Structure 1
Amino acid sequence: MKALIESIVTPLVDHPEDIAISKTEEDTKIVYHLTVHNDDVGKVIGKNGRIAKAIRTVVYAAKKDGEKRIYLDIM
């Protein structure tokens, strides 16, 4: 899943070397924390959050049946 998130976000940002993805796993969910350079936050979130919503939709759709619920947190 980290590779999927990175492959989606990399073309959007000017500083791809500053992309960091961490994973926190709990009983019922898995949370991925995406951190990008301060100049790139607006590009990843998009106007009215449209790009962030699209990224989350793709990530949620990639979940396999039977897996825990997946969340994407963009910082």
Structure 2
Amino acid sequence: MSAPELAPALAHLVKGIVDHPEEVRVASRDSQRAEVLEVRVHPEDLGRVIGRGGRTAQSLRTVVGALAVGRRIRVDVIDTDDAHAAAPEAPVE
């Protein structure tokens, strides 16, 4: 299976472990080395998706790897708070 085909399955798994399933987004893109699935969740759910010591994220990667059958598919959990922090704030008057 390719990354776009695996995106709904990964989204289903992630929605089962978060408190805000309506905010789960899984996007696929190609990189030079592999296909990439980017997982974005509500900031309060980030810890749940990563898990203690990264165990949950690693488990998600293992499941996706098993479904990928010979394809290189990387799973990235994106911290959406970093995107907000990098954006410049509007000046306060």
Paired with 1:32 and 1:21, the residues of 2 have a C-alpha distance of 6
* Identity %, equivalent residues: 34
Paired AA for residue 10 in structure 1 = K
- Distance apart, 1:64 and its partner CA: 2.8
When normalised by structure 1's length, the TM-score is 0.89
In structure 2, stretches of 5+ residues that fail to align are 1-5, 79-93
RMSD (CA atoms): 1.2
Aligned to 1:64: 69
Q: Which residue does 1:23 correspond to in 2?
A: 28
**Which structure carries more relative contact order (alpha carbon 8 Å, separation 6+)?**
1
**Inter-partner Cα distance in structure 1 for 2:53 and 2:32:** 32
Equivalent position to 1:51, from 45, 53, 56 = 56
Q: TM-score, normalised by structure 2?
A: 0.73
Runs of 4+ in 1 over 2 A off after TM superposition: none
| Amino acid corresponding to residue 23 of structure 2 in structure 1 | D
Matches of 2:76 and 2:31, distance apart in 1:
15
- Structure with higher strand content: 1
Q: Which residue of 2 aligns with 1:41?
A: 46
